[in-house]
Amino acid sequence: MPRRIYLDHAATTPVDPEVVQAMLPYFSERFGNASSLHRFGREAHEALEAARRSVAELIGAEEREIVFTSGGTESDNLAIKGLVLAQGKKPGGPHVVTSRVEHPAVLESCRYLESLGFQVEYLPVNREGLVDLAMLEKAISPATVLVTIQHANNEIGTVQPLEEIGEIAREKGVLFHTDAVQSVGKIPVDVKRMNVNMLSLSSHKIHGPKGVGALYVQGNLAPMPLLHGGGHEKNLRSGTENIPGIVGLGKAAELAAQRMEKDRKYLTGLRDRLIRGILEGLPKSWLNGHPTQRLPHNAHFGFAGIEGEALILGLDEKGIAASTGSACSSKKSEPSHILRALGLNDVEARGSLRLTLGRENTEEEVDYAVEAVCEVVCRLREMSPLWEEPIIKRQLT
Amino acid sequence: MYSEKVMEHFRNPRNMGEIPDADGVGRVGNPVCGDLMTIYIKVKDGRLEDVKFKTFGCGAAIATSSMVTEMAKGKTLEEALRISKMDVAQALGGLPPIKMHCSNLAADGLHAAIADYQKKQQSRK
Ligand SMILES: Cc1ncc(COP(=O)(O)O)c(C=O)c1O
């Protein structure tokens, strides 16, 4: 059996066996529709509400503030389009303030609003991927109804200062949505402390099943629903609830809450070992994103003289699953909008590698990955007309 | 996403490297678009005695470079000029559609190297 090492946990995570166990009864045994009055329905309804409790607890929200959706993408769409459409257009400035490093689910929702005549301001970030708070403050106008800025970046792992952003939004009297798909379950998230009015999360990034997520919607806020129908989820998201999926998300949230501190320490250790190994092993390599304000499981590298896709292929040959950036952009040939926003030039943005760790990875796997990355990068540099220096083969220590 | 043949050439590229005293050098592509290739040729009695490449780019760019050197080696200049992008892609068992345009530059590189050789011959006369 060839080795298989999964280092792409920002793309998705394996479903935890405990989560699978929790879900199983809800397929054929407790299969009821949560809206039904009979026992089958009540069983499903109880499971739905228990899951809501677990998700609410993970992010410091009230149960009634959790709306289940089909995932991070839908949560972002509901928050942004739903809220702005519900509020309508006011004259005099941008209606939405966001950043240039958002996930496409946020960026494309904003572009859609622009096509309807709303104005959106896309804030730049610095070399480390952080939004400038003074610029944010300046960008908010009397017409602004929503600030939407991610908690942690899906490619480079930079964590934004949410509390401060939330404070600015509160002072200016505008609502604040955050895409926390990458951070929830990895680092502490507390919607009250962070002054967040809406927050998106997704199950499959925290060892839950795919196709389910949630939007936290504070108090009585009422975004316009995207899906009209039978009035499920407080009328914000019609459609018979995906009970097995939601139960899975609930269990994943519960496990994340229990394990977060331990996982965070463990993953930070592995991450730093990975970063040290690769940066020491390869000349002209660098870390993208923030050196310390970054997700505990994210390491994102740049390498001079090579192209990322070839690196991913070379690593795949060695049994390592990695990515150049987000899973969505790996089939397009454009360099990532996130790396461009950091100020990397096109060539620098090409030679990138994202390794994202999970709780099942080991130190030994990290060491193997360091060796493999160094080997493949050297091989590609030998082939590259852009690399003119001698290839230094690292001495293994 | 890639054929086994593409992966095989990616794994074991043929004729990788430079020819320091090349008779012709072809550079095509642009690192901004993600691919850059240099093809070196050595010509003897109207035939390509040696062909080598250096490539910055994705798996398809590397595989097509490797394949074109293999296809061109030993051919007359006329024969080599008739090798098309389509031929290279076909010899590799096909390429994903998005790679057909951006990364299938190797035949252009070969033709550019031959043109460079012919220009040098002209100026020598
Ligand atoms: C930051 C971020 N937002 C949104 C999404 C979309 O979530 P989902 O795949 O559940 O639709 C992802 C991941 O795919 C993400 O990383």
Q: What is the pLDDT of residues A293-318, one digit of tens each?
A: 999 999 999 999 999 999 999 999 99
Residues of chain B found within 8 Å of residue A333, distances taken between Cβ atoms: 33-34, 58, 98, 102-103
User: Which domain covers residue A191, as residue numbers?
Assistant: 17-256
Same domain, A237 and A334: no
A172 vs A346, higher pLDDT: A172
Same domain, A243 and A269: no
Asked if A385 lies within 8 A of B36 by C-beta distance, the reply is: yes
Work out whether the CA dihedral B82, B84, B88, B91 comes out positive or negative.
negative
Query: Strands A146-148, B35-44: parallel, antiparallel or unpaired by DSSP?
Result: unpaired
Estimate to the nearest angstrom the gap between the alpha carbon of A2 and the chain centroid.
30
Domain count, chain B: 1
What are the residues whose beta carbons fall under 8 Å from the beta carbon of A170, sequence distance 6 or more?
A176, A195
Tell me: the pLDDT tens digits for A92-146?
A: 888 999 999 999 999 999 999 999 999 999 999 999 999 999 999 999 999 999 9
Q: Do the domain assignments include residue A393?
A: no
- DSSP for A302-353, please give it: EETT--HHHHHHHHHHTTEE-BSS-GGGGGS-SPPHHHHHTT--HHHHHSEE
* Of A23, A35, A24, A66, residue with least CA distance to A240: A35
Beta bridge partners, B29, equal B36
Q: Do the domain assignments include residue A203?
A: yes
A25: domain CATH number is 3.40.640.10
- Of A256, A271, A289, the residue at which a domain comes to its end is A256
Domain count, chain A: 2
Tell me: the pLDDT tens digits for B34-55?
A: 889 999 999 999 999 999 999 9
A298-303, strands of its sheet edge to edge: A285-287, A298-303, A352-356
- Of A229, A256, A283, the residue at which a domain comes to its end is A256
Q: What is the pLDDT of residue A297?
A: 98
Alpha carbon of A11: minimum distance to chain B alpha carbons (Å):
18
Residues of chain A found within 8 Å of residue B33, distances taken between Cβ atoms: 333
Q: Do the domain assignments include residue B79?
A: yes
Same domain, A175 and A292: no
Q: Do the domain assignments include residue A394?
A: no
Pocket test for ligand 1, best of A75, A202, A212, A338 (most atoms within 8 A of CB): A202
Locate the chain B residue with the closest alpha carbon to A336: B34
Same domain, A199 and A74: yes
CB atoms within 10 A of CB A293: 15
Is residue A330 predicted with pLDDT exceeding 60? no
Q: Which of A7-11, A132-136, B94-98 has the lowest mean pLDDT?
A: B94-98
A265: domain CATH number is 3.90.1150.10
Give the residue-averaged pLDDT of A347-366.
95
ipTM: 0.94
What does DSSP assign to residue A117?
A: T
Q: Do the domain assignments include residue A397?
A: no
Is residue A325 predicted with pLDDT exceeding 80? no
Residues in chain B: 125
Give the residue-averaged pLDDT of A1-25.
95
B85: domain CATH number is 3.90.1010.10
Is A201 in a helix, a strand, or coil?
Answer: strand
Q: Is the CB of A248 under 6 A from ligand 1?
A: no
Same domain, A100 and A181: yes
The fraction of chain A above a pLDDT of 70, given in percent, is 96
- Dihedral of the CA atoms A78, A79, A84, A85 (nearest 10)? 20
Cβ-count burial A254-263 (b if 16+ within 10 Å, e if not): bbbbeebeeb
Query: Strands B35-44, B47-56: parallel, antiparallel or unpaired by DSSP?
Result: antiparallel
Same domain, A173 and A47: yes
Asked if B2 lies within 8 A of A313 by C-beta distance, the reply is: yes
User: Which domain covers residue B100, as residue numbers?
Assistant: 4-120
Is A178 in a helix, a strand, or coil?
Answer: strand
Same domain, A81 and A122: yes
Is residue A206 predicted with pLDDT exceeding 60? yes
B35-44, strands of its sheet edge to edge: B24-30, B35-44, B47-56
**How far is the centre of ligand 1, averaged over its atoms, from the C-alpha of A284 (Å)?**
31
Q: Do the domain assignments include residue B32?
A: yes
Q: Do the domain assignments include residue A396?
A: no
Q: Is the CB of A181 under 6 A from ligand 1?
A: yes
CA–CA distance, A305 with A285 (Å, rounded to integer): 10
Tell me: the pLDDT tens digits for A362-394?
A: 999 999 999 999 999 999 999 999 998 776 655
Same domain, A39 and A168: yes
CA–CA distance, B17 with B51 (Å, rounded to integer): 9
Q: What is the pLDDT of residue A100?
A: 98
SS3 for B42-111 is EEECCEEEEEEEEEECCHHHHHHHHHHHHHHCCCEHHHHHCCCHHHHHHHCCCCCHHHHHHCCCHHHHHH
**How far is the centre of ligand 1, averaged over its atoms, from the C-alpha of A181 (Å)?**
6
Asked if B56 lies within 8 A of A385 by C-beta distance, the reply is: yes
Look up residue A252 and give its amino acid. Answer: A
Locate the chain A residue with the closest alpha carbon to B59: A310
Q: The tokens of B64 are what?
A: 């097509």
Same domain, A81 and A139: yes
Q: Do the domain assignments include residue B36?
A: yes
Same domain, A244 and A106: yes
**How far is the centre of ligand 1, averaged over its atoms, from the C-alpha of A205 (Å)?**
8
Locate the chain B residue with the closest alpha carbon to A376: B11
Residue A211 region, left (φ>0) first, then alpha (ψ -120 to 50), else beta? Answer: left
Same domain, A264 and A246: no
Q: Do the domain assignments include residue B54?
A: yes
> Is A321 in contact with A7 (CB distance < 8 Å)?
yes
CA–CA distance, A219 with A358 (Å, rounded to integer): 34
Q: Do the domain assignments include residue B114?
A: yes
Measured between its terminal Cα atoms, the distance across chain B in Å is 49
What does DSSP assign to residue A391?
A: P
Asked if B2 lies within 8 A of A317 by C-beta distance, the reply is: no
> Is A178 in contact with A187 (CB distance < 8 Å)?
no
Q: Do the domain assignments include residue B125?
A: no
Residues in chain A: 397
Same domain, A189 and A275: no
CA–CA distance, A248 with A242 (Å, rounded to integer): 10
Q: What is the pLDDT of residue A333?
A: 61
- Where would I find the H helices in chain A? 17-23, 25-28, 39-59, 72-87, 104-115, 133-139, 162-172, 243-281, 308-317, 337-341, 346-350, 363-383
CA–CA distance, B65 with B109 (Å, rounded to integer): 8
Estimate to the nearest angstrom the gap between the alpha carbon of A375 and the chain centroid.
30
Q: What is the pLDDT of residue A327?
A: 45
- Of A231, A256, A281, the residue at which a domain comes to its end is A256
